Amino acid sequence: MATIKDVAKEAGVSIATVSAVINGTRFVAKPTKKRVVDAVARLGYQPNRMARALKQKKSHMIAHILPSVMNPFFPAALKGVEDAAFAAGYSVLVCNTEANPERIQRYTDLLLETQVDGVVITAPGLRSIHDMAETLHRSGIPVVVLSGPRSLKNFDRVLVDDVQCGYLAAQHLLEAGHGNLGFIQVARSTTSKHRLQGVCEALQVKGAKQPALVLEAHGFTEQEGYRLGVDFASRHEKPTAMVASNDMLAVGFSEALHDSGLTIPKHLSLVGIDNTMAASLRPRLSSVAIPAYDMGLEAVRRLIARMDGSQQGTPLTTTLNPSIVEGHSVVEVSVHSVAQNHA
Amino acid sequence: MATIKDVAKEAGVSIATVSAVINGTRFVAKPTKKRVVDAVARLGYQPNRMARALKQKKSHMIAHILPSVMNPFFPAALKGVEDAAFAAGYSVLVCNTEANPERIQRYTDLLLETQVDGVVITAPGLRSIHDMAETLHRSGIPVVVLSGPRSLKNFDRVLVDDVQCGYLAAQHLLEAGHGNLGFIQVARSTTSKHRLQGVCEALQVKGAKQPALVLEAHGFTEQEGYRLGVDFASRHEKPTAMVASNDMLAVGFSEALHDSGLTIPKHLSLVGIDNTMAASLRPRLSSVAIPAYDMGLEAVRRLIARMDGSQQGTPLTTTLNPSIVEGHSVVEVSVHSVAQNHA
DNA sequence: AACGTTTACGTAAACGTTTAGGATAGGGGG
DNA sequence: CCCCCTATCCTAAACGTTTACGTAAACGTT
């Protein structure tokens, strides 16, 4: 690899001059500049990023910390992060924590050593990730949290409005004429609670206060969805439509209905939330899409604003809006058929 | 951030000694070592990776170049890459090319500047990616190709055996009693051609030479699958089972059958290849799984072997075996019903 | 003609490491 | 008692940049 010294010699100038023409940091006479440019081309010179980083104390790298790229939500966020970073001249280091405390520990050390200029942490559920964020932050590294809990109050955050998610899901069903809805919630999850609240808010427009039926799952899993689906199928009084706290639940739920001889959307209209599994169902599940890609973009924009100092002071939280994407799991219903609520 | 100098002063030794105890590069008397270790702890010292990289000409970073993390195949490969890298003390930079020549160009410059120690390139279809690989390689950066074409003969490669994929798919159907199969191939794709060849090889055991029906798609897309599904449904003579060149095709195909009133697996047994969409179909699609995660692991192992010089000389290609994962899209059939081949 | 300004570039220190090549001190053999 | 060896640590150069500062030449002004 040619160094700046080689270029300087080749062009017959000092290294300071080479640096100047490369970075445009000061005026260089036209003919001199040309000599340098030519020399660079001849030698195929590429500035050494390590050396530059060392001198400038800026690595031009950011880290994206996430639980696992295998989870369908994260690749989209990662891509948003990478796109925004790329556009701004940053490279991104991926760090899969796998929710493993040991990995998390090693990664925070690694990131400190690497002198990354900033990090975006997505969906930090664990205490150890919380600690990681704090540690990095204390070391002066800007941190923005993507889709994290309210407890991370020292950081910039970019979120999707969970209440709005529930609201949209319910509204979509109401607009299709469904009067009494059910909801599948998840025990001890604030996310789920917010989504339920959104459902309630939508219902209030119709005068109702609560969903006609609330089933409780113990986790956002397909198995739990299936379990509740079996339960549901055996009931006499059934709402004509359900909202699931997330798509996984919806998939399991729908599977159970299918096994019980009930079909969607004929016997039940169903809408999911997060739109990760929409393609997994026939007919396609209607679901509320979380703009993961856009959240990634926004997170990095926030981060860059912190890194270049154009944004200072108290933490900001940006909220993006979800949107409903229609599948074929919801059926229009006339005002009359709403009244009769058994399949 | 504390530097090595601060530690040296704090411990009352020279920086060389500090470096020695940190890296264990030479003997240091026990009491001295303790003083250093304590000083490190007191100051919370972390070695600066940039400085180290500069001196050692080794960044301890590798890059993973891929078309797009949004494509379902790649996250698994990425995770394999990251796991192996992490275990070996390397960080990984993700580079989504989006098959965009401009991005590719900028990324190759970036990687050269960053002095990454090695790169793994996955699924390089394009000419410009081919060039990228060559450029990096010429600059002395070890490159291993994950799942690339045979034309990339200067590089270590890790592949899945496409012929084997076809073979497994067909064998699975044969074992279920299906005598005459069909195949959905993709025009001008060597991957598809190999898979077809595998199907043929499996058929030869039964005395047949060719699938009873070969449909031709113009791309690995759901739309093409749908188009061929419509075609298929209108035929009089139908095989009892089909193999699709990939899962996307299978999904589209199955969609079309469904719309034509044919159901899987009752009227047709179907198996896909690559297992990316298995969950997208009800009933679940039986498919040949490509071990993307393991391929990622293996790629990085190869890469590391090159980087530390333990592996030299002529390029190696490692082939991993695919495996069938059973869904519910294949039905057992008696020898008799095989004879009657219309639905 | 002497001097101040401007223009264009060079010198050298610094960033935080690693590492080759001393240097110092203590100890054993003759 | 001298010499040499070993054990232990230090000095200083080097990695490839950026940048504060310095300097030389050219020019205009009086």
Give B322-338 pLDDT, tens digit per residue: 999 999 999 998 755 44
* Cβ atoms < 10 Å from Cβ of B150: 9
Q: B113: which 2 tokens? A: 């500047």
Provide the pLDDT for residue B203. 95
Choose the mutation target among A94, A254, A264 for the interface with B, i.e. most B CBs under 10 Å.
A94
Using alpha carbons, select from B270, B286, B298 the residue that is nearest to residue B323.
Answer: B286
> Which residues sit opposite B214 in a β-bridge?
B183
* Chain A CA closest to residue B141: A1
- Which nt sits closest to B46, CA to C1'? C16
Q: Does B115 touch chain A (CB under 8 A)?
A: yes
Comparing CB atoms, the residue among A50, A109, A277 nearest residue B115 is A50
Provide the pLDDT for residue B335. 57
Name the 3-class secondary structure at B295.
helix
Provide the pLDDT for residue B13. 96
User: CA–C1' distance A41–D13 (Å)?
Assistant: 30
Provide the pLDDT for residue A72. 84
First to last CA, chain B: 74
Secondary structure letter of residue A286 according to DSSP: E
Contact A109/B46, CB-based, under 8 Å? Answer: yes
Report, as an integer, the average pLDDT of B113-122.
95
Q: Beta strands B143-146 and A91-96: pairing type?
A: unpaired
- Which nt sits closest to A23, CA to C1'? D18
Provide the pLDDT for residue B343. 40
Provide the pLDDT for residue A342. 45
Q: Kindly determine whether the C-beta of residue A1 is less than 7 Å away from any atom of nucleic acid strand D.
A: yes
Provide the pLDDT for residue B152. 86
Choose the mutation target among A1, A57, A69 for the interface with B, i.e. most B CBs under 10 Å.
A69
Averaged pLDDT score across all residues of chain B = 92
Contact B47/A113, CB-based, under 8 Å? Answer: yes
Q: Is the pLDDT of residue B302 over 80?
A: yes
**E strands along chain A, which residues?**
61-66, 91-96, 118-122, 143-146, 156-160, 181-186, 213-217, 241-244, 269-274, 286-289, 317-320, 323-325
Q: Is the pTM of this model over 0.85?
A: yes
- Using the structure block, give the residue that is written with the tokens 């036209």: A30
Q: A8: which 2 tokens? A: 């300087």
Comparing CB atoms, the residue among B47, B74, B114 nearest residue A91 is B114
Report, as an integer, the average pLDDT of B117-137.
90
Radius of gyration of chain B (CA): 26
Contact A78/B69, CB-based, under 8 Å? Answer: yes
| Cβ-contact A158, A144 below 8 angstroms | yes
Phi-psi region for residue B85, left (φ > 0), alpha (ψ -120 to 50) or beta?
alpha
The CA distance from A322 to A305, in Å, is: 24
Q: Does B210 touch chain A (CB under 8 A)?
A: no
Report, as an integer, the average pLDDT of B108-113.
94
What is the sign of the dihedral through the CA atoms of A225, A226, A231 and A234?
positive
Q: B148: which 2 tokens? A: 């690339």
| Cβ-contact B17, B28 below 8 angstroms | yes
Q: Beta strands B269-274 and B241-244: pairing type?
A: parallel
Report, as an integer, the average pLDDT of B190-208.
92
Contact B92/A91, CB-based, under 8 Å? Answer: no
Choose the mutation target among A49, A66, A105, A280 for the interface with B, i.e. most B CBs under 10 Å.
A49
- Chain C positions within 7 A of any protein Cβ atom are 7-12, 14-21
Instruction: Please give the domain boundaries of chain B with CATH numbers for all domains.
Output: 4-47 (1.10.260.40), 57-154+292-322 (3.40.50.2300), 162-285+327-339 (3.40.50.2300)
User: Which DSSP helix (H) or strand (E) runs through B324?
Assistant: strand B323-325
Distance from CA of A201 to the nearest CA of B (A): 33
Note the pLDDT tens digit of each residue in B212-229: 999 999 999 999 999 999
Secondary structure letter of residue B123 according to DSSP: -
Share of chain B above pLDDT 70, in %: 97
Each of the 343 residues of chain A gets a pLDDT tens digit; together they read 899 999 999 999 999 999 999 999 999 999 999 999 999 999 999 999 999 999 999 999 999 999 999 888 899 999 999 999 999 999 999 999 998 999 999 999 999 999 999 999 997 778 899 999 999 999 999 999 999 888 888 999 999 999 999 999 999 999 999 988 999 999 999 999 999 999 999 999 888 888 999 999 999 999 999 999 999 999 999 999 999 999 999 999 999 999 999 999 999 999 999 998 877 787 889 999 999 999 999 999 999 999 998 999 999 999 999 999 999 999 998 755 444 444 4
The CA distance from A133 to A119, in Å, is: 9
**Chain A to chain B Cβ contacts (< 8 Å):** 103
The runs of H, that is alpha helices, within chain B are 4-11, 15-23, 30-43, 49-56, 74-87, 101-114, 127-138, 162-175, 190-205, 222-233, 247-259, 292-307, 335-339
Provide the pLDDT for residue B14. 96
Comparing CB atoms, the residue among B1, B70, B258 nearest residue A75 is B70
Restricting to A residues 70-99, those with a Cβ less than 8 Å away from any Cβ of B are 70, 74-76, 78-79, 82-83, 86, 91-96
- Which nt sits closest to B4, CA to C1'? C16
Helix%, strand%, coil% for chain A, nearest 5: 45, 15, 35
